[in-house]
Amino acid sequence: MIKKVAVMGLMILLAIASYGNSEPPKGHLVSEFYIVKSGDTLDEIASKFIAKSSVRRDIREFREGIIELNYDKVFKDRYPYGTIYAGDHLQINYWEED
Rounded (5°) CA angle 78-81-69: 105
Model confidence at 22, in pLDDT bands (50, 70, 90)? low
Is the Cβ–Cβ distance between 27 and 98 less than 8 Å?
Answer: yes
Average pLDDT over residues 77-98: 92
Tell me 22's DSSP state.
S
| Helix, strand, coil % over all residues of the chain, rounded to 5 | 45, 15, 40
pLDDT of residue 67: 95
Q: Where are the alpha helices (DSSP H) in the chain?
A: 2-18, 42-50, 59-69
Range of the domain at 48: 2-96
The H or E element spanning position 51 is: none
* pLDDT tens, position by position, 24-75: 666 899 999 999 999 999 999 999 999 999 888 899 999 999 999 999 999 9
Predicted TM-score (pTM) of this structure: 0.71
- Paired strand residues for 92: 32
